[in-house]
Chains A and B, each alone.
Chain A
């Protein structure tokens, strides 16, 4: 079977020779793909031309990565077709796509770290002599290739000893050496230094000029205008828009990515959030100058008791990193965090918990539930020492605690002893909220609290957030859903590229303002002074109080 498809692949490569610059080299027509009832792709049309750099954009769940996996043979589409050089192809596994000339470069390089650069470039196709690898010829060809790409790397060096950026250059060189017609780069720049990014772009442009079609995915918006020729926007598994990059404004791109106008959302009342509940008083949480290597570049944040502060930002803007660093789960390089006026030790989860900070993390499965433990044990997990005397757990106290929270949050389980993995996503989320409320926090950080839960549970969680704020809890709410932020938060702090781009009052918010801030628009200066980032007004407010 393998033999067979390789032969077919080889034939396909032969046929491709005819594709000229500007002709479509890789296309999808009405491609659909679902995973157990979830429609990840709903009939997506996409066209990559030879000699262009095409970017795919979309927020989480837009279908970007699913589409890439269909293009590279990782997934087989449920419906629709993939065309390569005008002919319908059926990739059954990644090797099939590679055989016809589609190379993929991931964020994590999938080469062999212990082999030399040259070996990696020619892996599986090493020049041979008397049945053995002809090392001299191989190194020579590798050197020529590197020179051609303008990359200065010792080809005999062990790959694993090079920086990540250099490793990606090697991956690109490999893509070139196999005469790829298509190179797909999935977030190649997210862990690169600026200089490395420049080299990568230079090489990518070189490939484009030779007629290779490149797909480029990055959550750094600036890079798209710098590098790409055309853009295709996906949203909720559907194709939304394709346009030359030069005709697209940042605002346009972001609003098409997010899909809805903020005005529209406000009018709808799509969430369970009530009116605003701002309270004056000493700030419950003050974060200043928070820095995390490569992620956050000085984030300031102030939350008062009874206030819900929304944290907005596109993928990679540093939203989750901010709350994780506040919670001590991510090592902060510098910065100061105070809770209720007391300084919190950074980089320590237990220190943060003891100071009254709780974090409901974004990834419920990996970072939240302990699947094989009961609902009861999951709720009591963070307060076990408090429920114990002399190292012995008091069952009665846990029962009382669990009972209170199961009633209060209306957790639906057959009994407190049911394993938490048997619960629905919404109820699992409520179990986790109960776990954190049991710690009696003063600051509650919620990272996408309603993602992946059903509509009913979503409304309940939103109602609960309101209730908690009314009771005086300081809440930080991260959400990718604009309506949730605009309706749920009293104030929205917009992050862009690891810093605070703007701070907006959600009662008096215009769509263009929010979108501009999300897009990291640097033309803010042209707007009236009152709309400039308002860190300053916030500080004055704080001083008044």
Chain B
């Protein structure tokens, strides 16, 4: 590297810091603007877009992503990451047909507990042992997928009426799945805003050393966060299995960790921790869902949709890094 380019980068960077405010604004609100524009475009360009059937389908499809992404947002708020969520979904779903003999509630509780236990393991590895979050949860991602396969074996169908109605039923036209996602969103929002734990979480993510020196229970906060993430992932897995009335441990929840991280990141939560954006995360999940749907409506192949998603993620991360650099210099 020659020095000429080095100086140029410095100059560029200081120039960019002049527009820092704008980048900051884009980072915080870009997802809402993009979502609004895409909705508007679909209203005009897509036939039958404004119909209860279409909207309902979109919301039902996005609900599990939102639930997982909320847990992910909390983890990312602590400057961590949880790659095990997809596998946890599969594990919870795989346990359902096995324990359905205890009734739907019993099976669901077992599935949720399994998710919480995986979260506990991740939390202890990260918070107590001190393993890097990406390493700890990558290991769990592989291991738990294996456990799910071990328990679940091949695809099993779910016939239990309670579970089936959980997946497909509705209250006054709103599917249960969507109601549950909304309730979870509200609960997580309240926890972040109002609870002692929520306040401590952003402080731990913002400056771990300062948090420790201020006497905050850093370990407990970290462990709790991963447990919540595991619990929410298990919930999403159960809902997904209930909706499809089948549990397929090899496929279910695959790449969900990426969808969840994407939703969080394009929602404006920095990967460097210290902030949790609940509305942004929900909007991020909706935006990704809508992009995929839009492309499908217009007969553009799935592979293209994936490429578009990738581009959006890169842009979102770039916007964040631009800000991060400006802050450092």
Contact = CB atoms under 8 A, between A and B. Distances in A.
A128 interface: no
Interface stretch (B104-112, B192-200, B282-290): B192-200
Contacts of B314: none
Interface in B186-236: 194-197, 199-200, 202-203, 206-207, 209-217
Interface stretch (A43-51, A58-66, A361-369, A530-538): A361-369
A356 to B, nearest CB: 12
Given A1-B3, A349-B213, A435-B214, A381 B203 contact: yes
A370 B203 contact: yes
B196 A372 contact: no
B275 interface: yes
Interface string A363-393: 0001111111100010011101101100111
A366 B209 contact: yes
B213 A373 contact: no
Which of the listed residues A2, A385, A387, A393 has the most CB atoms from chain B within 10 Å of its own CB?
A393
Most buried by A among B200, B215, B274: B215
B2 interface: yes
A88 B50 CA distance: 75
Interface string A317-350: 0000000000101000000000000000000011
Contacts of B2: 1-2
Which of B197, B199, B200 has the most chain A CB within a 10 Å cutoff? B199
Contacts of A377: 199, 202-203
Main secondary structure of the interface of B (DSSP, over half): helix
A395 B196 CA distance: 11
Given A1-B2, A1-B3, A384-B196, A349 B203 contact: no
Nearest to B203: A370
A372 B79 CA distance: 13
Interface residues of B, number: 25
A92 B274 CA distance: 37
B274 A372 contact: yes
7 contacts: A366-B207, A371-B206, A377-B203, A382-B215, A382-B216, A387-B196, A393-B199
B200 to A, nearest CB: 6
A34 to B, nearest CB: 15
B320 to A, nearest CB: 13
Nearest to A388: B196
A369 B207 contact: yes
Contacts of B274: 370-373
Contacts of A1: 2-4
Nearest to A368: B210
Contact of B215 (A353, A392, A393): A353
| Most chain B beta-carbon neighbours within 10 Å: one of A366, A372, A392 | A372
Interface in B272-329: 274-275, 327
A93 B209 CA distance: 32
B195 A393 contact: yes
B267 to A, nearest CB: 16
Nearest to B270: A372
Interface of A: 1-2, 92-93, 327, 329, 349-350, 353, 359, 361, 366-373, 377, 380-382, 384-385, 387-388, 391-393, 395, 421, 435
A419 to B, nearest CB: 10
A369 B210 CA distance: 7
Contacts of A384: 196, 199-200, 216
Given A370-B203, A381-B211, 9 more contacts: A361-B213, A368-B210, A369-B207, A371-B206, A371-B207, A372-B202, A372-B206, A372-B274, A377-B202
Nearest to A387: B196
Nearest to A361: B213
- The residue in B197, B207, B209 that gathers the most chain A C-beta atoms within 10 A of its C-beta is B207
Nearest to B207: A370
B200 A373 contact: no
Contacts of A385: 196
Interface string B2-17: 1110000000000000
Contact of B213 (A93, A329, A380): A329
B195 A391 contact: yes
A327 B4 CA distance: 49
B196 A381 contact: no
A53 B4 CA distance: 37
A544 B210 CA distance: 40
A2 B197 CA distance: 53
Contacts of A421: 327
A417 to B, nearest CB: 13
A74 to B, nearest CB: 13
Contacts of B4: 1
A393 B217 CA distance: 16
A1 B5 CA distance: 11
B205 to A, nearest CB: 9
B1 to A, nearest CB: 8
Nearest to B214: A382
Given A391-B196, A392-B195, A392-B196, A367 B213 contact: yes
Contacts of B213: 327, 329, 349, 359, 361, 367-368
Contacts of A350: 215, 217
Given A349-B215, A361-B213, A382-B214, A370 B196 contact: no
A370 B217 CA distance: 16
B321 to A, nearest CB: 16
Contact of B212 (A349, A373, A391, A435): A349
B76 to A, nearest CB: 13
Top 3 nearest A-B pairs (CB, nearest first) are: A370-B206, A1-B2, A382-B214
Contacts of A361: 213
Nearest to A386: B196
Contacts of A353: 215
B78 to A, nearest CB: 12
A368 B4 CA distance: 38
Contact of A373 (B3, B197, B202, B215): B202
Contacts of A380: 199
A93 to B, nearest CB: 8
A382 B212 CA distance: 10
Contacts of B211: 370, 381
B127 to A, nearest CB: 16
A339 B203 CA distance: 28
A402 to B, nearest CB: 13
A391 B215 contact: no
Contacts of B209: 366-367
